[in-house]
């Protein structure tokens, strides 16, 4: 068999560990492995590179992706899907492992459905917003980086009696904010799914100061819509244009929130936007292990010809689910997780 591997969408720690874990058993089974460059763009444009034992050596701790990535959507390129099918056939590839989030795997689900395309998926994203799996790989590393940042901000916040607003990624879900906020002991956490108002956030901060604590940490997810008692709600974006999957570029809510907090509470407020720092670098041990288990599962699914499936984590078990189920809707933060965070507000 000739097995293709593709990494699409935003990069995240653990992608290379998956590539390694797909390739190793595939070599042992006598299969060839070929890397598709730059996500779906590589299949549209026909950009491939052979992967042998030498290429996959030393990958386990390495951040980013050796294959490169893109946010290309073949369904938005004129003749894109036909080019994908054509290049795939020309290369003599028998199966594709697509490692990606809702967008990359959404394409995989659709092309499988429409063309019986031999693809299996691996759930990747720091946002942890894919359904049908408990966790995506990359998330643990992002939470670890954000938690460390919150710890560091604590000491400087305390020295200066300041409110520190920390903006984290997560797109339209607040998983990174909630988990790093709980782990870092945040005093208020604002997420898209449970939008408390700016006035409520300020009340929590004031309550805390009345208790004698003269500094506070506020974690805000980039997708939180600024919400006010008046009923006004506002999404802060970096630009209005959308990408090929219809996403706007989020970011900047932290600055507006900080201004609002300073104005309403009178407390000196600073803001830190963690940005792509939380997506770069080496994966945590947990992500290395999860990525490895996912990669092995994907290699098995390919070997058994079980296409249209995605490796998933349920409890402590690696299982497989349908790509359609995994991409049907976003996995949002449920109320009971937010309740854990809220128990420590103020």
Among 8, 10, 192, 346, binds ligand F6P (CB under 6 A): 10
Q: Which of 139, 121, 177 is nearest to 290 (CA)?
A: 139
Among 21, 36, 97, 169, binds ligand F6P (CB under 6 A): 169
- Asked if 91 and 4 count as a contact pair (C-beta separation under 8 A), the reply is yes
Letters for 174-213 (x = contact with ligand F6P by CB under 6 A, - = none) are ----------------------------------------
Residues 6+ apart with CB under 8 A from 172: 129, 192, 223, 330, 332
- Give me the phi and psi of 87, to 5 degrees please: -65, -35
Contact between 125 and ligand F6P per CB under 6 A: yes
Residue 2: HSE in the Cβ half-sphere, 13 Å Cα cutoff = 13
Residues 6+ apart with CB under 8 A from 326: 105, 109, 121, 123, 130, 131, 132, 133, 310, 312
Stretch of residues binding ligand F6P (CB under 6 A), selected from 46-54, 166-174, 186-194, 337-345: 166-174
Q: Which C-beta is closer to ligand F6P: that of 176 or that of 261?
A: 176
Among 35, 170, 174, 184, binds ligand F6P (CB under 6 A): 170
Contact between 127 and ligand F6P per CB under 6 A: yes
Contact between 171 and ligand F6P per CB under 6 A: yes
Residues 6+ apart with CB under 8 A from 276: none
| Whether 127 is catalytic | yes
Least CB distance to ligand F6P at residue 188 (A) = 20
Burial environment of residue 296 by CB neighbours within 10 A (0 to 12, 13 to 18, 19 or more): middle
Q: Which C-beta is closer to ligand F6P: that of 95 or that of 326?
A: 326
- The active-site residue, picked from 11, 103, 127, 320, is 127
Task: Report H helices in the chain.
Answer: 15-28, 40-45, 80-90, 102-115, 139-160, 175-184, 198-210, 253-265, 285-303, 323-328, 335-342
* Nearest residue to ligand F6P, by Cβ distance, number only: 169
Q: Which two tokens stand for residue 75?
A: 């369904």
- Asked if 41 and 72 count as a contact pair (C-beta separation under 8 A), the reply is yes
State whether residue 181 is helix, strand or coil: helix
CA distance 20 to 91: 21
Q: Which C-beta is closer to ligand F6P: that of 11 or that of 300?
A: 11
Least CB distance to ligand F6P at residue 312 (A) = 18
Least CB distance to ligand F6P at residue 243 (A) = 7
Letters for 266-285 (x = contact with ligand F6P by CB under 6 A, - = none) are -------------x------
Residues 58-97 that bind ligand F6P (CB under 6 A): none
Among 105, 107, 126, 220, binds ligand F6P (CB under 6 A): 126
Stretch of residues binding ligand F6P (CB under 6 A), selected from 24-32, 89-97, 125-133, 225-233: 125-133
Stretch of residues binding ligand F6P (CB under 6 A), selected from 30-38, 46-54, 84-92, 120-128: 120-128
Residues that bind ligand F6P (CB under 6 A): 10, 101, 125-127, 169-171, 222, 250, 279
Q: Which residues are catalytic?
A: 127
């Amino acid at each position: 068999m000739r097995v293709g591997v593709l990494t699409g969408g935003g990069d995240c720690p653990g992608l290379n560990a998956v590539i390694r874990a797909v390739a190793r058993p595939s070599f042992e089974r006598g299969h060839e492995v070929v890397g598709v460059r730059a996500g779906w763009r590589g299949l549209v444009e026909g950009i491939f590179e052979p992967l042998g034992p030498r290429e996959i050596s030393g990958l386990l701790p390495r951040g980013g992706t050796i294959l490169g990535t893109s946010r290309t959507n073949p369904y938005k390129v004129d003749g894109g899907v036909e080019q994908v099918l054509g290049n795939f056939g020309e290369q003599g590839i028998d199966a594709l492992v697509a490692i990606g989030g809702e967008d990359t795997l959404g394409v995989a689900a659709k092309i499988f459905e429409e063309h019986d395309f031999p693809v299996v998926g691996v759930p990747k994203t720091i946002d942890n917003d894919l359904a049908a799996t408990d966790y995506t790989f990359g998330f643990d590393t992002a939470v670890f980086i954000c938690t460390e940042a919150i710890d560091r901000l604590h000491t400087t916040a305390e020295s200066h009696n300041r409110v520190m607003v920390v903006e984290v990624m997560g797109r339209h879900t607040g998983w990174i904010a909630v988990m790093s906020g709980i782990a870092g002991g945040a005093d208020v956490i604002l997420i898209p799914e449970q939008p408390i108002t700016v006035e409520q956030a300020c009340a929590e901060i004031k309550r805390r100061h009345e208790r004698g604590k003269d500094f506070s940490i506020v974690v805000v997810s980039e997708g939180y819509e600024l919400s006010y008692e008046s009923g006004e709600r506002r999404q802060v974006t970096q630009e209005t244009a959308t990408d090929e999957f219809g996403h706007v570029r989020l970011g900047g809510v932290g600055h507006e929130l900080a201004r609002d907090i300073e104005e309403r509470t009178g407390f000196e407020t600073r803001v830190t936007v963690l940005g792509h720092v939380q997506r770069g670098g080496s994966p945590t041990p947990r992500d290395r292990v999860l990525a490895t288990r996912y990669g092995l599962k994907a290699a098995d699914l390919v070997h058994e010809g079980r296409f249209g499936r995605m490796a998933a984590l349920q409890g402590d078990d690696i299982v497989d689910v349908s790509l359609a189920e995994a991409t049907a809707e976003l996995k949002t933060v449920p109320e009971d997780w937010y309740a854990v965070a809220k128990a420590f507000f103020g």
